[in-house]
Every structure is written in C-alpha cells, then in structure tokens.
Structure 1
C-alpha cells in the first residue's frame, strides 16, 4: 500500500520521483530492469542523441556530462543513473497489473516501444531494433528504409557510405514481398522496386499494456517535453490532493504589460501545455504551463491566445507579437492601449 505508485524508471518516472521525493510524499518507483534508463541503454541504436536539451528539473545540468551538440546516449545513461540515486526505486520488479499494489495514485511512465506499421509483408523485414549497426554489412547492397523520423535518417546516415543505394520512404510503401534473396516493394503505385535489405524505422509508440482509466500517463517525444509534462502533472496532483496552490506570479493588468509577458513566453510553452492569465482588478495572475483545458481568463499556447469567460470562448488571437497582443488585450479588457 503506497500513496503514489510510479511505473518505470526512465526520464518521466525519475522526474516524477524527484518531485514526489522533494515534496515528502509516500511513493515508490517500480522498474522491470536491473537499472534505470533502460530505453536509452538500447536506443538510439547508433548511440548519438538528436538534441542536447536533456536535463531534468531539480538536478545537475546535463551539460556537466557532455557539452557536445549531439551528445552520446551513454552520457545520458550516466546522467540518469546519478539522478536516480536518491530515489525510492525497486528494480527487477516487472508490473503486469497495477491494481494489485493498492496505490491511491498510479502514474504510468513506461516509455515507448519500436513501432512496426501494418504494411502487408512487413514481417519479412528487419526492424530498427534488430538491424545491424555495422556499415560493412550493407556494402554494395540496395537498402529500403521505411520511416521518415530520427531513427530512419540515423540509420540511413550510418550506411550511406557503404550501401550501393538507399531509399528512405514513409507511408508510400504499399506492400513488401520476399522473393528468393531479394525484397520486392510497391511504393506509391510506381511499380515494383527491388532491394537486398528492408529496414523498418517507423519510430516508437507508447506502451499501453498497463493503461487503466484511473492512472495518470506521462510521456513525450523528447526529454524537454517529458520534464514539463511531468511537472504539470505533479503540480496538478499537489493542488488537487494536498492543497498546494499552483505556482503563479502577479502582472500589472494593463494591455502593454500583459502583451509584453505573453509575447516573451509564447515561444517557451511546450506543446500540450498553456500559460493561463487570470485578471483580478489591478493585477493579473499568471499560471505557467498548465494542462490545456478551458478555463476562465486568457489561455496562451505556443500558437494562439484564447479568452474564456466561465468556460465560454470569447475571442482568439493568433498573432503572438506585442502590438497585436496589446490591441487584443485592450479590446478584451475594455481599456485603451498605452501606445
């Protein structure tokens, strides 16, 4: 019996564990593997990350481990091992049914698995997880790579100097067939093309095997997205179950002041979250990076600002620059522009 059960000791589970640990909550992280960061011990296959923004909140900066623009995956593993050290984690503990633990709150941070699309004949192909990373294995061969994301281009770059030819395609592949030592593929109805190897690099999908209606799910396409999503969930749990107010700051409730703040913040708001500005007399309260639900006040995402009054949509502005925003706030607050 525990208050918070976190499943998975990857970046999302570790970030949630750090927040719960610092808040003094009763929690445990269950991890199927013997160590944290299991995903990054295998992926990316060529051991180079696609971004240098890999720090989690409330820990030492990742830059202490690597200052390269595209750091090594093993550097991230070392970073997450250090981050995990003070946390309450039970390793070698696979979870098949979250209900048996009797937790008041369940948080699923189980990460992602390689995705294989439902293309006829795709079972004959190799996958990103199984294909060799030795470029000499592809010397003089014709290779079809299915996918248009990081894993596909990472694989294509690795074999480009040795392969006879490399085709990287997305959803245009209609079917694949193995004929003798060759693969035959129909791509976008242009006719049958022949290859020596086919590798499926279609990205990853979240593991949904443990999903239950009452569980909270934390995920993201990058560590930056993960850390912000986890912080938003933790703040929500603290407010709903422990009476801890959502962090906020005061702004002057004037069109010029609100426009300047929103214009500077809009480019920093992660996808799926929103800043919420609530006017209160001479001041306005800014609640940063909340879940994007309809609220009273101004809801600011990276692409637009919407004005709600008692959950009714009043107005939308998509030009997130100071002058258009100042005119927008002037109209919505019924006060003249300062400029």
Structure 2
C-alpha cells in the first residue's frame, strides 16, 4: 500500500462505497480508509430497532431498470443488475442486517481499494504542497490531493442546554429489550423518526410514554421530505389522539435529576400563549427512563488541525457545503447523509438520494481536477429528438425523481441547426444556475421534477386532500411531483412550462383510454419551438384525444351545483385547489 493518492475517501459506508465504485470503474488513483473491519459498520447497530425506513419495493408496473430504481431505496449504483437489494430482502421495510450483507458483497464484487482497521486520528494539510495529511492510529500516514469525507453519522447529537443530560439514555445506546420497560414511565425527547421509532417499539410494554418536542411535528406526507416523520413510525400518535395514555407534547426539558423515589425528575417548560395572560410555565414530572432522540452529529472537528477545520451549520451538526458539496476548506468534500446540509427537500439524507449526488460529484471532480468533461449525450437538432430526450428522462429517470428540484437535466441547443444539441444529466440545480454553464449559452432548457403545492396559496389544504384530477387546462396548477421545463438565455430565466401530473409519474403515453397520448411530448415540443423556431406547426397539447371524446365524457355542473362552489374569490391569484368534496355537495342538494 502506497502513501499518496489523488483521492482519499474516509469511510466505507454506502456513500464511500458509491464513490469508490465510480473511482474503481475509471481506474482512478484512490484509497478508502475505515476504522472498522468491514464495510457499513454503522448499520450493524443502527437503526437501533433494526428495521430500515427505506422502501424496498420489488414489483412495479414498468420494465425499465431506471424506473424501478425509483422505488429501490437501498441499492447502490453499479453495472451489475444482479447486485440489487431486492435480492437480499423481500420486506417493504427491510432489516438492517440485510443492508450490511449487501454492502459487504458490494465490496467483494468490485474489489474496492479499502484499508480497513485504519482509524484516522488527525487530518492536517502540508503547507508547502497543499496535500492533505492523514495520520492513522497505527502510525501510518497518508496524503492526498483531494479529501472526501464519508463518515456519516458519528454519534448522538445531545442537547447542550439540559442540566443533568448525562442521566439520560440515548437513541444509539439505549436498551432495546422491551421487557426492561414493562410497566415503566418513559419520557422521550425528540420529534423525528428516531423518537417515534423508539416510542413505537415500546408502546406495547411501557405503561406510559411521553414524547416531548419543542416544535410542531413535520410529517413526510406534508413536506414530501423523507427525513420528516414517516407513517411507519407514527402509531403512538393514534394512541395519543385516542387518549390511550401515550402522548406527544411541545414541552422543553430544562433539567433531569434523580428523585428520592428512585425515578428521574424531569423539569419541563411550556409556552402557554393561549392563556390570558400568555406566559411560560414550569412543571416537574417523574419517569423511570428518559431517552434522548434528537438526531446524530456528522462532523467531528477534533479530527482536523485548527487551520483546516471546516465550517459547520445547524449548531455544528452538519458541514457547511457549497453547491458542489465542497467545504470551507478547498479540496475537501463531504458525501453521504451530510449532503442534506444543502438539501432539506429531496432525499440527500438517504441512500436513494445521495447515491446520485455522489455520482454527480464524482463527475464534477473529474471535470475540475482531471479536465474530463462532464458526461453528455448528443441529440439531433430537431424537435422530435429533443422532446423525446426530455420525455424519456422525466418518465423513467430515478435521479431527478428522487432528488426532485435539486438535481436537474439541461439541454443545450446551439444556434447552428447543423450542430447537435447536448443533454447533461443530474447536475445540482443551484450549481447550474450559479455557474457559467448557463451564462455562456443562448439556448438552455433546464428540466426538473418538482412539487407545486406552493402555487395554491395559504388555503390550509392538506396534501392528502388533493384527490381529484388536476386542471389539465392549467398544467401550472399541479400540486404533486411533475416536470417543469425552464428556458434560459445567457443565464437569464425567460420562460417555463409545466407538464401535466401523472399518477404513475409517466409522461410518455396515455394514462386513460380517453387520453391524448402525445399531449406531454407535444407540450415539450411547443416550448422548444417557441424559442428555437424550428417549425411552423403548433402541436396539440389537449388532455383528451379529441373534442368529440371530451364531449362524451364531461358533464358540466348544473347552476345549482355550481352555486354551491362559491365565487372562488378566496383563490384569487392562486390555483384553485382540488379539495372540493363532491359527494358532500350532492348530499346537501
């Protein structure tokens, strides 16, 4: 084993293995170092209750490999179609032990260059040549030009403002034997998946569970962010609403101390803004166990020499990152779950998201350090070819689906009609907007999949209330995930066009018998043609195949029914929601 490498990756978890795969595939000069004796050591003990919340959906209605990866949240990207997580578990929410086996097999299959049992104790930078210098516990020293940190979660992030916090258990270390909590009073601090995972595990044994969090719970079905509270973990909320002793309260824990009765005295504070007069109140409650579930920390600043300590955000929880995942220290990058430092809307915190971020970062690194152009495909300079390229991607690609409105595709079209257009996949959207990729080109079409709930204004509608067919005359008014094509000229946004929603997230054909199967493709052709002037034709975007078909399937509401809808003035300036309860209306008549 040599001492100097162009790239060193610290950590052999999923993100480190994904980056190593990309490096190995292209025979780059790299090394992975990891303190453990095998890959994926974090998942040998975490999640604590050994069930992943990453979906393992094995059966889907379409044959494309890419489309099926949309619903495989655990596999890494590779060129072996047999090395998929679905062959390791049949469970929709699989056991963590299956992921450990999968990651170990991934290392073996690709013979990745990993030095296990190599704990890095210090990271410095040589002043004369700028090389990073990594010193291991066994005395070995490694140097590299580019440092990539993929260490993932480094332990529980504990509150610093609770007196007596050392008396509490933590998520990663608490006893998971349910019988140990039989008949006990349990307090859990946190409002995310880890807190509710613990509560759900203990709900049938503990006599009482109180979950305390200082803020309103964020539900994944509201925010569409997979890191917020998922339905698979929220059984305790049912019990709370049905007054079955377990409960969630927005209390702040001020202190924990040992009481004379052998229990833990927990001093809590509540903001009572609804009282007259409003104020704060402090109370004391007694519990047998207090478990802190406030998430993990992802940066260990003690590893770094003072002059190269990376900046952090969220009170030190995450590294501060650029739109290319570079830290405040040049040539130092973070991969894996910490990539969510700049993404709290898509899936950067999970394997199914950061596997694409890592692949993109690899290509950006090759472009920056080895002058290898970012991958692109050549597309014929005609409306059909260019529209087909866009439609195929938004209909099947897993990357821009998982990393919605974070990763984007761009179609760069030259003025010279004899030259081919270029299509680039999976670039960070903000990086594209900030960089010269747009500013130097006259015609760039940027493509994302994104949600549109913000377009309905503050009307108090729950996402699960949007259960009707969207307004096909106004594709802009699509609340759920759908494609948007933006047109830029020399870096300035000039135009945009939304495609209609699809229940199946397919935009390449008919979804119902009465559909116009070409509507989505034609809509893309029209925005391309509007700015490229390649045809005199206007392409039919109508949702229904023909006016005759529409007439046969659509019945207008009667004046009496229409009156029940109101005048719609409350929606002025916004899209009209799809939340009208028609059955309720009919009962009123």
TM-score, length basis structure 1: 0.88
Residue 547 of structure 2: aligned partner: none
Q: How does 1:262-277 map to 2 (within 5 A)?
A: 263-264=394-395, 268-269=399-400, 270-271=402-403, 272-277=406-411
The 8 Å contact of residues 394 and 449 in structure 2, kept in 1 or not, is answered as no
Which whole-Å deviations, capped at 9, do the CAs of 1:12-35 have from their partners, x for residues lacking one?
Answer: 111111111111111111112222
**Aligned partners of 1:135, 1:117: CA distance in 2, in Å?**
25
Which of 101, 116, 121 is the aligned partner of 1:91? 116
Which of 439, 443, 446 is the aligned partner of 1:299? 446
Which of 86, 104, 115 is the aligned partner of 1:63? 86
Matched, 1:315 2:495: yes
Question: Could you say what secondary structure the match of 1:29 adopts?
Answer: strand
The 8 Å contact of residues 146 and 332 in structure 2, kept in 1 or not, is answered as yes
Superposed CA RMSD: 2.7
Deviation (angstroms), 1:230: 1.0
Residue 144 of structure 2: aligned partner: 103
Deviation (angstroms), 1:165: 1.7
Which whole-Å deviations, capped at 9, do the CAs of 1:28-71 have from their partners, x for residues lacking one?
Answer: 11112222212111210111111222111115111222121111
Which is further off, 304-313 or 158-167? 304-313
Residue 233 of structure 2: aligned partner: none
CA 1:182 to 1:102, structure 2 compared with 1: closer, same or farther past 3 Å?
A: closer
Question: Could you say what secondary structure the match of 2:368 adopts?
Answer: helix
CA 1:5 to 1:332, structure 2 compared with 1: closer, same or farther past 3 Å?
A: same
Which of 30, 33, 42 is the aligned partner of 1:30? 33
**Aligned partners of 2:496, 2:162: CA distance in 1, in Å?**
45
TM-score, length basis structure 2: 0.53
- Alignment size in residue pairs: 339
CA 1:328 to 1:10, structure 2 compared with 1: closer, same or farther past 3 Å?
A: same
**Aligned partners of 1:88, 1:268: CA distance in 2, in Å?**
26
**Aligned partners of 1:97, 1:268: CA distance in 2, in Å?**
33
The 8 Å contact of residues 18 and 355 in structure 2, kept in 1 or not, is answered as yes
Q: Kindly indicate which of the two structures has a greater share of residues assigned to strand.
A: 1
**Aligned partners of 1:254, 1:193: CA distance in 2, in Å?**
69
The 8 Å contact of residues 259 and 329 in structure 1, kept in 2 or not, is answered as no
Which of 189, 195, 214 is the aligned partner of 1:146? 189
CA 1:208 to 1:317, structure 2 compared with 1: closer, same or farther past 3 Å?
A: farther
Which whole-Å deviations, capped at 9, do the CAs of 1:96-132 have from their partners, x for residues lacking one?
Answer: 2152133122111111132223443344422101211
Residue 165 of structure 1: aligned partner: 208
Question: Could you say what secondary structure the match of 1:205 adopts?
Answer: coil
**Aligned partners of 1:150, 1:120: CA distance in 2, in Å?**
21
Unaligned runs of 5+ in 1: none
Matched, 1:117 2:159: yes
Which whole-Å deviations, capped at 9, do the CAs of 1:196-243 have from their partners, x for residues lacking one?
Answer: 122111222322535433212112311111211111011122233334
Which is further off, 251-260 or 118-127? 251-260
**Aligned partners of 1:204, 1:268: CA distance in 2, in Å?**
26
Deviation (angstroms), 1:147: 2.0
Unaligned runs of 5+ in 2: 57-72, 125-131, 134-141, 215-249, 273-280, 305-309, 311-328, 338-348, 439-443, 451-483, 502-519, 541-589
Question: Could you say what secondary structure the match of 2:271 adopts?
Answer: coil
Deviation (angstroms), 1:331: 3.9
